[in-house]
Amino acid sequence: MSEGFLFAFSGTRANRKEEVFYATRQLAREQYPDQPLVFMDDIVMKKPLPLNWSPEHRALHPTTRLLAAFAEFNEAGIRRVRPEIENGNTVITLRYGLDLFLDSVAQTDCQKAVREAFELWHGNLVPARVVRGTPKPQYLISPLRPTEDRVIAFCSRQAGYIKEYFEGTGQKLPIYLGGTSVQECAKEALGHILSSVLQRRSSVA
């Protein structure tokens, strides 16, 4: 059986990943309707911006937030992502594990707590997911930036966590898109996705 690939639009909260994801999906449907591409926009549901969290949610330990979010994420991976991958399709999601992790450590000043969440994720939860048959994703990260000052500061902090997320953890290095608009990023992202499809066909031919 030919296994497929997994891509995920991810990154800081306000990098317009949603717009890029939907624009990529539209391009794929218009220009390449016969390609084995499966777009999923609800594997990781969008939560309120951490800057707007309630005091109660902000007070939770990062590992508590991470474990609570992982249950829903894990179920979606097993029930929806894995079957498509096993059928040889390329799955493209809006948000994925990186987004769970970034939300878990948001609004947390305690570096020990951040480290504990980091170790839980990379040391336990990611390996468990991979063993169950959902592969490590190829992240696509939009360079588009917010304009509101408080959101810019928040996303700058998230960017530091993203860099750490991929350093020496066994994760695939992300693809940082280079476009200056949603459409440019979507066109570039689709090129990367289609390239993986062609490579897989060549390898099994």
**What CATH number labels 6-204?**
3.40.50.300
Helix, coil or strand: residue 77? helix
Partnered with residue 176 across adjacent β-strands are 141
Distance from the first to the final alpha carbon of the chain? 13
| pLDDT reading at 64 higher than 70 | yes
Note the pTM of the prediction, 2 decimals. Answer: 0.91
Q: How far apart are CA 102 and CA 117, in angstroms?
A: 10
- Which band of pLDDT confidence, cut at 50, 70 and 90, is reported for residue 2? very low
- For a pLDDT cut of 90, what percent of the chain falls above it? 61
Domain ranges of the chain: 6-204
Give the DSSP letter of residue 180. S
Q: Which tops the pLDDT comparison, 205 or 148?
A: 148
Residue-wise pLDDT tens digits, 152-204: 888 888 999 999 999 888 888 999 999 999 999 999 999 999 998 887 766 65
